[in-house]
Each structure stands twice: as C-alpha cells, then as structure tokens.
Structure 1
C-alpha cells in the first residue's frame, strides 16, 4: 500500500519558544538561518516578536500574536523572541533537510569558520540526560549564537554588510559537504511530489484515472526534542520505502 507524502513534502512541528533570558536580556530562541529551505511560523498562543535580517542586510522586528502567519526565504537570519507563552506551528520546506543540517546558527565567526568547533558548539546532550541538563545546554548554545548574532551589528544598530556576507559564505562552506545527501532527500521527497502532481494532471488531460482508487490516509508519529528555538514536538511526516508511515 502506498501512503501519501505530507502536502508539499513539507514538515510541521509544534514549538514552545524558550522563555529563558539570553545575555542581551531577551527571552527566546537561537538566531540562525537556513541555506536552502524556507520556513513559516503560524502563531497559536502567547506573544512575541520575530527579528529578521534579510539577504540585503535589512533588520526588521515583527510582533507575533495568535493567528499571525509569517514566512521567510532561505538565508534570512531569524530569531524568535518570547514575550510570554509564545507557541507556534513551524512549517518547513524540504522535509528532512533541516534535520540533516540545513540550519546554521550564528555562532561567533571563529566558530562558524571551523567545522569541528561548529559541530561541538551545535551538539546537545542526548535523551539519556536529564531534561534540566539538556535545557541548560540548549540555552548555552543559544547564548553563543546570540553573541555571534549581535556581532553582525554596528554600534549604530545597523547590520554590517561585510560581516553578514562573511556569515553567508561561512554557512555555505559548512553545509557544502552535505549537498549529495540533500539532493537524494530532495529527489525522493519534494521533487517526487511535484512530479506526482504532473503525472496526475497528465492522466486527467488524457482522459485517464489519476489514481483516485489508490488514495490512502497517513498519520504522523510525534518526536519531542529540544530544538534551536524551543521545545519541539516534531511530527514525522516521512514515508518509509515499504510504503508505511514512520
């Protein structure tokens, strides 16, 4: 039995944004960017703000309240600020790629420039450790990323274009070794879904059955985790090679 891919081959997770306060006095998540995947926030509870630096170096702050929906392209540096009980549903393009390294945290430049140091700084303790230890490690990682994030700004509060360009270059260098793996995931997921839509359109146009009799229902399992921006409930929307839901 063939089960359907999640719509658009995207991924979805429930996020409770960290309420611990960083070194600059703001509570919230870890500043980071994605290299090839767009991201969307649908706010379902609480209040907060979204800080972004776009590819041209423009910094913006948007308020977040229940019902708000905001999304941003790959390369946008973003930071979720929690002003009280902020909860969002995160929708990610290219399901599987963010979990495979398509997120680069804004650690200080000397860390982002070194693959080994970056990996050490990004790593969190496993589920065998107590939640308090894992949360403390997530906060420490967040604080290191905030340090690098703040270094992107000049004294007058504007973003330094040279520092931002250097971060972009470092991020690309960090993930480049993963491209072959990412391409396989993209071809098996998002690209396959697009091609399936084309196959159905071709069948309809030719007077045939697009496959309605093969329609089935899938259901996701849930995997709790400490993410970059907060406590996550990740919905596993992948399909195993035998056609069963994971």
Structure 2
C-alpha cells in the first residue's frame, strides 16, 4: 500500500527524510494555508489535501530513489537521472493510489483530525489530482491523447507551446491556478515550505506566525527562493526558476 511504501522511501537526502514524513508535513502546511485564506471543509478542500499527500508519488521511481540515496551518502549522482513528476503514471502508481485511499484517509484523520470524504476523491476529479502531481514544479502538464486503439490516455508532456495530433485535451498549471484560485498553487507552496523548513531545520509554525495573508507568505518565499532552490539542487540539479514560478503564483494574490 502507498502509505507503507512512503514510509520506506526517501523524499529528501538531507536527514534521509521519508516520503511519508514529507507528505504529512506538506498536508499540515496545506491545511494552514487553507485556513489562512478561509477555505472551509468540503469537496474542494478534500481534492487539494488529497493531491498534496500524493503529489510526490513519482519519487517512488527506483531511479529517483537511487539519486536520493547517492546524495544522502555524499556520492556522485548516478548517470541515469529522472524527473520524479514525469514518473507520476509509471510503476502502477495510479493503481497504488486508488487502492490506498482509505489508508490515506485514516492517516490524515489520525494525525490532523481531518475527515476526508472518499466520495470526493473519485471519478473525474482524479484528473485534477494527478495534474497537481505532474505540474507541482512547473515543468510538465497532462495531455490526454488517443492511442492506436482509440482509447484516450493521460501522458506527461513538457512543451506547453506544442500540440500533438492525437491530443484531446490538456491540464496545465495555469488551468489549476484559475480553477482553484487563490489556492491553485497550494501543492507547490506546501511542498516548498515543508522542504525549505526541513532542509534548514526550521519550524514552519513560526513562519505562519509571522504572516497574516497569503500575499505576505508569497513575499517571504520569493525572498528565500534562491536559498530554497539551492537546497533542492543537492539531489536534483536542474534549474527550477523558482523565483519566477513564485512570482507567477503570487500574481493574482492580494
């Protein structure tokens, strides 16, 4: 089951943080963010919180785990490097998530008293939940394309300006930002805050004690963007353009 897999897999090389601990920290941050903007219980919050818990499922990719292990041991990264968001649909991850929904609900209830309604995280809404996972670093989007047998399947694409002849529709980060405003960037921000505080040994509760609005929070994150990105690059040496991404997310926030 997903919860057990998360407990034995790495999320961060620093301190060998488990994927489970990172996912739960992200959920805690996401709940605080939702409270900050007055988002109450309901289907929409269920979608966002569930998406936050599963957003890093692609890190279960064994090649990405090898990258984290190397970084944790101070060794050179392996020659084969993968981007974990691009592995979201690989290794039967969707099936693993589907089979683990009840277990995830119990974890959230036990840790945070959050009552996730399973009926709210089924059917077509899962398209958006997967899109949150695929887009949470701003690089990829989900393209739904018809295969040779006429079946429409989700594929992960990177070039936003490209169009594919078999594409029926797509879900991009921009779509999520509009659909879930002002929390379209919730998964991204929760991930960044949890990651930054873990890397720096800081308490994110202190951060929330210093801000009174989502706009204030974005201002602080943009200030720390370069520092956050340097921490990520220890195990994933790509250019995240984090400051630019945060500026995009903050654009519609007052």
The answer to whether TM tops 0.5 is: no
State the TM-score, normalized to the length of structure 2.
0.25
- Select the structure that is richer in strand: 1
Per the normalisation by structure 1, the TM-score is 0.25
Higher fraction of helix? 2
* More relative contact order, 1 or 2 (CA 8 Å, 6+ apart): 1
